[in-house]
Chain A
Amino acid sequence: MKGNKIDMADKIRILFTGDSITDTSRTELVEGMTKMMAAMGERPGMPGVANPRTDRILGAGYVAVAASILTCEEPGKYEILNRGIAGNRIVDLDARIKNDCINLKPDVLSILVGINGVAHDAVLQNGVDAEKFERVYDSWLTEIKKALPDIKIIMMTPYLLRGPVSEQHWDYFVPQTALRCEVILRLAEKHGATVIDTQKIFTDAYEQTGNVFDWTQDGVHPSPAGHMLMARKWIETFKTL
């Protein structure tokens, strides 16, 4: 057991966080696992502490794909955690910055957030405007960099294709999402983070086939193929860090 722990400490810990695109059913599976553990009389994990039983669950999206490829290519080298939660906006990530980010002490942090700040305003009057998005995201990054000065950060831009979920508010979604992308470029520069232009991945893919369902389920959530394109780009970017 002790040997195991030392082994774990040597691994590079990569933390993914964000919204449903990162979550991809993870929270649902963790909930199921937690219920099962409770039924078997096992104690649930502590917040802010890595838990081997539930941390193994990475969801079914680009995080799981990237983790599978990366750990197959370089076995034993990485520990990968997912803390994406569906529906999250930057303010939600800020609310759980300690337990679900800083206290886990990641070496590399990858974040994809922004679309719910736009979409939740159009649909639920509960969004985060571009100005607040920048202010909170900036403070979030500052707090993380202060607590973990050596951390490497990958910031993924939000993206949109025209599909069932996005077309109703298309004229609002497009410029608003573009504003969030500009913010991300500015903050990446300021905090020395690396940006992945996710919008470009999906725009290019869409131009290739002209069918939104090849790459997304609904214009917002990726198809398995869309997740693969994200994972490939993510690995390529990670290797340049």
Chain B
Amino acid sequence: MADKTRILFTGDSITDADRTNLVRGMQEMMMKMGMGRGDPLQREQRINTILGSGYPMLCAAQLGADFPGKYEIINRGIGGNRVVDLDARVKTDCINLEPDVVSIMIGINDVWHEVNFKNGVSAAKFERVYDSMLAEIKEALPNVKFILIEPYVLKAGATEEQWEYFETETELRRQTTVKLAEKYGAKLLPAQKLFSEAAAKTCATDWSADGVHPTPAGHWMLAKAWLELFLAD
């Protein structure tokens, strides 16, 4: 295991993609079977086998098939997370796992939760917290490689009512992501361009059912772009 390149995916529901639901189910089953929470190391190993059903799982499946034994993939995306939530768990769910590669996709809930719950994260604070989080990871793990995935939004069920707000505010977080990728020498996955172009070719709902969460097709589109970026040079 020590020889494997450890890749950590983190972010919000797009990265989570049912993972936390399945982790919860596994933990409930262990409780029912009288195993309690198990010892912490075993618990972590069990959690690490659960990758969800989205682009991190697809990337893991493709890398595992093409380069067997070379990579260890971990997912720590949690549905509903904003950049401040990622920062709150930067030690346990990132630094302490000592990943070689950290892939982050964050920003849409910073916008969305303002619309729905008055609990968003402003563009200025998004940049400040994201920047400080990347700095903290880089300081703890100087050799870490970052892949930053832009937040994106399409016009569909969840976004069309407040479309102008979604579009403008997501664009601000996207620009921040581009800027920070530059600052930290990270590879950048231009997700907005990817989804906008795909939606223009067919229709938005082929790629995202509600304008935020990718369909299976959208997840594979993300995974393909991620793999291409990761495997380049």
Contact = CB atoms under 8 A, between A and B. Distances in A.
A32 B216 contact: no
Interface stretch (A12-20, A38-46, A63-71, A137-145): A63-71
A233 to B, nearest CB: 11
A125 interface: no
B58 interface: yes
B69 interface: yes
Contact of A209 (B61, B69, B203, B220): B69
B141 to A, nearest CB: 25
Instruction: With a 10 A CB-CB cut-off, give which of A60, A67, A217 has the most chain B CB atoms.
Output: A60
Interface in B43-77: 49, 51-53, 57-58, 60-65, 68-69, 73
Interface stretch (B17-25, B32-40, B83-91, B167-175): B17-25
Contacts of B218: 72
A99 interface: no
A112 to B, nearest CB: 17
B197 interface: no
A223 B51 CA distance: 11
A32 B202 contact: no
Interface of A: 25, 28-29, 32, 56-60, 64-65, 67-69, 71-72, 75-76, 80, 205, 208-209, 211, 214-215, 217, 223-229, 231-232
9 contacts: A58-B216, A67-B216, A68-B217, A76-B203, A214-B64, A225-B63, A225-B68, A226-B64, A227-B61
Interface of B: 18, 21-22, 25, 49, 51-53, 57-58, 60-65, 68-69, 73, 198, 201-203, 206-207, 209, 215-221, 223-224
